Amino acid sequence: MPVRYRRILKHHPLRELLGPRHPGETPLRYPVDAPWSIVQAGMRAYVGILTMLQAAGRLPPTLDDRRFYKGLVREFMAFRERALDAMSEFAPTDLGATPGIAELACWRVFQHGPESRFDVHLGALEDIWLSAGAADAPNGPLALGVPVEGRGAFLARHYAVAVLLEFDTALICRARGDIDGTLQAAVYGGQSASSSFNLETAPSGAGDIASLAATLAALRSEQARAAANLRHSNSDEGRAKLAVCEQWRRWRAGELHFQSVAAFAREALKQHIALNSGPTVERWVREWDQGKNIPDLA
C-alpha cells in the first residue's frame, strides 16, 4: 500500500479501553482475532505517544478526540516528507571512498526506496542524530528544527506513530487476504516498536492491559485537572487571580509596599470585584511565597 495514500488510521489499538462515543464511530477496534503481539505493541505505542506528549505539555484535550488521532498521522507524514526532501539534497549520487555517517544514511534511504516503509527516514535520522561522533549541528541541513536535547524523544514518538501505521496496514492487508503484505507490515511495525521503546525516556509500561489502563487513568486525571485549570483561568475570578499574582510579584520585588498579607488581600478585593474572599487571597499569597501553584503569567 503506497505510503502517500496512508493519511488516516483505520484502526485504534485502545478503542476497547477508551470506548466509542457513538455506535460505529471510526476508527475501528483492532479485530478480536488479531495477533496479540500486534495488539499489545499497538496499545503500548499509543500510550507511549500520550505519555511523551504529556511530558512535553502537549496532551490532547480528550483521549477520545478523533481529530487528535488523525493529527498524529498528519504531523508524522508532514515531517516525513520534509525529512526526505532534505535527505534527497544531502544524499550523494555515489558513495565514493569514505562516506560519512550522514551521507551513508541518506544514500541508504533512496537505495531501499523511501516508499518501502513508514519509518525509513527515522532510521536514517537516528544514525545521523544519535550515532557517536555523527551529531548534526543544531541548525545543520538535517537538524530539521528538532533541538539536540529532544531528538531521542522526538524519534521515539514518531517511531510509535509508525508502529500504528504499519499495524494498521497489516490489519487491512489481513482483511483482504494479502498474506505477504500482512507479514511485511507486521514485521516493520515490530521493528518500529522496538526502536520506539528503546528510545523512550519515560517508558510507558510493560504493555499489559492493567498497566496500560492505569496509565490511561492517570492521563485522564491530568486532563481533567488541566481542563479545570483552563476553565478557571478563563473565568472572571481566574483573570483576577492572574492580576493579583502580578501585584504579588511586584510586592515581593519591592516595587509595591503593603504592611501585611491581610493588607495586600484587602487591596486586592478593592481592585477586583470578581474576588469576594480575603482569606482566599491570603492563602494564595502563602502558597506563592512557598513557591507553590504560582500561575504562569507568560
Regarding whether 221 and 262 lie in a shared domain, the answer is no
Q: How many helices (H) and strands (E) would you count in the chain?
A: 11, 2
Domain with 247 in it: 235-289
Instruction: Based on the fold, state whether residues 259 and 178 are members of the same structural domain.
Output: no
φ, ψ dihedrals at 115, nearest 5°: -85, 0
Distance CA 37, CA 17 (A): 17
Residue 256 is placed in which grid cell?
A: 509595591
The whole-model pTM stands at: 0.66
Q: Is 62 exposed, middle or buried, given 0-12, 13-18 or 19+ CB atoms closer than 10 A?
A: middle
d(CA 194, CA 140): 28
**CA angle in degrees (0–180, nearest 5) for 173-178-180:** 105
Same domain as 246, residue 217: no
250 and 162, same structural domain? no
Query: In 3-state terms, what secondary structure has residue 139?
Result: coil
- Cβ–Cβ under 8 Å, residues 126 and 153: no
Q: What angle do CA 270, 273, 275 make, to 5 degrees?
A: 90
Q: Are residues 132 and 269 in the same domain?
A: no
135 DSSP assignment: P
pLDDT tens digits for the chain (298 residues)?
A: 444 445 577 777 766 555 555 544 556 777 878 888 887 788 888 878 877 877 776 766 555 556 777 788 888 999 999 999 988 888 877 766 666 788 888 888 888 777 878 999 999 899 888 876 555 555 667 888 888 888 888 999 999 999 999 998 898 888 889 999 899 999 999 999 999 988 876 554 444 556 656 666 676 666 666 666 656 556 778 888 888 998 898 998 888 889 999 999 999 898 888 888 889 999 999 999 888 878 776 5
Please give the Cα distance from 139 to 192 (Å, whole number): 27
Within a domain: residue 294? Answer: no
